[in-house]
Amino acid sequence: MSKTALLFAGQGAQAVGMGRDLAAAFPAAQALFDRANAALGYDLAGVCFNGPEAELTKTENAQPGIFLVSWVALELLKTRVPTLKFDATAGLSLGEFTALTAAGAMSFEDGLRVVRLRGRFMQEACEATRGGMAAIIGLDEVPTREVCAEAGVELANLNCPGQLVISGEADKITQACELAKARGAKRALPLTVAGAYHSRLMASAQPKLRAALASITLTAPLVPVIANVTAQPHGAPAAIVDTVVAQVTGSVRWEESIHALVAQGFTRFIELGPGSALTGFMKRIDKTAQVLNVADCASLEATVKALSA
């Protein structure tokens, strides 16, 4: 029996217009956008649908916006395919919160509010530091770690073979890019981000996030949820808090997380939310897996058709 895992997008997937066609086509989707606006007390749906881009890109809007569109995609898929069964979830960075919510560890409203606060706390950390990130293309993990040690930066994301992301002080990132190219990286590309996510420069966000999590009800997930920092399933509610707080400064071990699922017999992966970055990673991690995604009406229809075949 093949097993299915749900995958949830992370920050960077946001795009003005995300979710708009789903809300226009499905009253149930519009109702979820309205619920989100009521929970947060501002028009997040309007920011998702209409921007402007500078407003959507703000961490405190991008994170809940991606969470919301991902949740809408999941709810629509469940409605269209009532027999849909999933056996695990995983999410990239902020997507880990969507994965936990999908697995029943927290309510939709609580997940949305926590992710909004997480984005705000991380934005504050960005403004208090001068950080940056860069994608290192075509260099293996070991030499990339050596580059990080030499430049004084950190390995933030291990996304898929040939794509790693480093994070740290902006001037050190520039130095690390030069070192990576000297070591044989095909490309070392500074990313357009607000700061140094998944590095020690985000540490000031951690106690604030822990306090925010203390104000909501967490329960044990109904299916395994793979944690970014361990590449293993989350534990009890108290351990969930420790793990997602650690994730703010810790490395996202995405490739390892997917390998862990494949090793447990997972053969179908469904990416939910804007963009298709995780689908791209998946194709580089395991070409034999079936990968579907739901980001808009067209991809929803294609995934419904594939699941119904």
Active site residues: 93, 198
Q: What angle do CA 14, 195, 90 make, to 5 degrees?
A: 50
- Burial class for 156, CB neighbours closer than 10 Å (0-12, 13-18, 19+): buried
The residues facing 89 across adjacent strands are 6, 225
Q: What angle do CA 85, 287, 98 make, to 5 degrees?
A: 40
Three-class SS of residue 99? helix
Both ends of the chain: CA-CA distance in Å? 16
Q: Give the distance, in angstroms, between the CA of residue 83 and the centroid of all CA atoms in the same chain.
A: 26
H helix or E strand, kind and range, residue 280: helix 277-285
